[in-house]
Amino acid sequence: MTVRLTVVGDALLDRDVEGHVTRMAPDAPVPVVDHEQTISRPGGAGLAALLAASGRCEVRLITALASDAAGTELSDALAAAGVDVVDLGLDGATPEKIRVRAAGRALVRVDRGGTPPGRVGAATAQARAAVTWADALLVADYGRGVAADAGLRTVLRRAVARDVPLVWDPHPRGLAPVPGATLATPNDGEARRFAPDAARGEGTAAVIARAQALRRAWRARWACVTRGADGAVLAGDGPPRAVPAARAAGADPCGAGDRFASRAAELLACGAAVPDAVAAAVTSASAFVAAGGAAAVGPGRPGAPEGMPGDDDLEGVLARVRARGGTVVATGGCFDLVHAGHVRTLQAARALGDCLVVALNSDASVHRLKGAGRPVVGQDDRAAVLRALGCVDAVAIFEEDTPARMLARVRPDVWVKGGDYAEGDLPEAAELAAWGGRVAILPYLAGRSTTRLIEEVLDAG
C-alpha cells in the first residue's frame, strides 16, 4: 500500500568525516584523525523525508534550499532518494552539520552556514498543493523559517480540519504546532524547555506530566514524549501509557527522532490508530539506532540497503493490518530444522487471516523444553529461515517456556496450534478470550517431525 506523505521543514546537509585515531597531536591534547572517507546525506527534515521515501511512502518535501554547492548536493541527494522537493528558496547559505568520527563515535561536531538563518521564500501555490495532496503530513520544524510561513500554517490548519493526520516534530527554536495536530513528538529535553513548570523529575510520572501539559498547551490530539532508550510516553484519549524500547547499547542515536516521526506519520497515513503507530515507531527508532543510526544512511554504507537500516517490523505489521480491519493470525513453536510439515501448517495458518506472526522459542527456551543437543539450529538462523517464507509476515523471539507474554503483546485474533489438541486443553485459550481471540487447530503433515529428521541423520551416520 503506497501512501502520500508531505514533509514540511528545514533541510540541511549532514557530513560524516570518518577516519581512525592512532596518535595524539604534538601541539595540543587532541587526537589526530587519519581521514578515510567523507559521506554526505540529507539532514533535518531532509532525513525524515529520505527515511519515509525508503518505505512505502510517495514523499514530497517542502523546504528551502540555497543556491550554493551544498544546496545543490542536498537537492541531488533528495532527488536520488525519490523525494519530490518543493523548494521555497533560501536567501543565505545551506546549513551543514559536520561530524568527525573514529571507531563509530563522534569526536567533534562543526556547524557551518545558516548562522544567522537565511531568509526563506514565501509559500508558493505548489507548496500549498503539496499539503492538499497528502494522505498525512509531517512537520520537522528546526526553527529556520519554513514551518513559520503564515501561508503554510494556514493550509496546515485546513488539512487538520479535514482530519488529515498531522505529526509535528518540534525543536526548541521552532514554533508551537498548529492547533489540532494529531501527534506532537518532542523528546524529553525539548519537553522540559517547552513545559518548564509541568514537572522537574526524571521518572515516568514526571514525563507523563510534561506530555499532558504540552498536549493541553498545544491543543494537540496526542502528545508523545520520546525518551531514547527508555521508549516513549503517550498522552491522549484515555489514560497515559508508557511504550518501552528495545535496548541498543553503545549505538549512535543521531536521526532516531526523524525515524520515529516519519514512521509514525507513515502508519497514520495507512489508517493506524495513534497508539499502534507510536508503538511501531518506537520499535523502528530502536532498530534504526541499533543498525547505526544516521551514520548507516548513505551510499556505500554497509548494512544500509536503499539508504536506511532495516528493522524487525512486528508492530508495523500489526498496525497496518488492524488499520484495515484485518485479521491477525499467530502461531508459535521451536521450528528447529524447518520441514515440509512446518511449511504446510504455516501456509494454512496464513490463509486464516491477513498476516501471520510466528512466536519463536529462544535457544534457551528450546533447550529447556527439548533437552540436551537442542536446538540444532540457533535462534537467529531459525528466525531468518521463517522470515524467508512468503507466508510469514513477522517473527518474534520469546525467552519464556510458554508464549503467554508474547500473546499479550500481539493479541492475535486467531492463535494456531498444530497437532491433536482440543481448544479446552490449551492454557492459551483463557488468555485469548480476554480480547476475543480464538484458537484454530491444524493437523500436522503425517510423518514429518524435527525429532524424526534428527534420528534419521544419526542413523545414517
171 Cβ contact partners less than 8 Å away, ≥ 6 residues apart: 141, 142, 143, 190
Distance separating alpha carbons of residues 289 and 255, to the nearest angstrom = 8
Strand order in the sheet with 11-24: 31-44, 11-24, 96-102, 105-112
Q: Are 411 and 322 in contact (CB under 8 A)?
A: no
Distance separating alpha carbons of residues 369 and 374, to the nearest angstrom = 9
Determine which one of 14, 188, 258, 363 is catalytic. Answer: 258
Phi/psi of residue 35, nearest 5 degrees: -65, 135
**What residue has cell string 484519549?**
237
373 Cβ contact partners less than 8 Å away, ≥ 6 residues apart: none
- The three cell numbers of residue 384 are 531468518
Nearest to 63 by CA among 133, 132, 130, 3: 130
Q: Are 63 and 9 in contact (CB under 8 A)?
A: yes
* Torsion of the alpha carbons at 316, 318, 320 and 322, rounded to the nearest 10: -160
Query: Radius of gyration (Cα) for the chain, nearest Å?
Result: 25
**What residue has cell string 523502528?**
284
Q: Amino acid identity of 63?
A: T
84 is catalytic: no
- The three cell numbers of residue 329 are 493470525
Residues acting as catalytic residues = 258
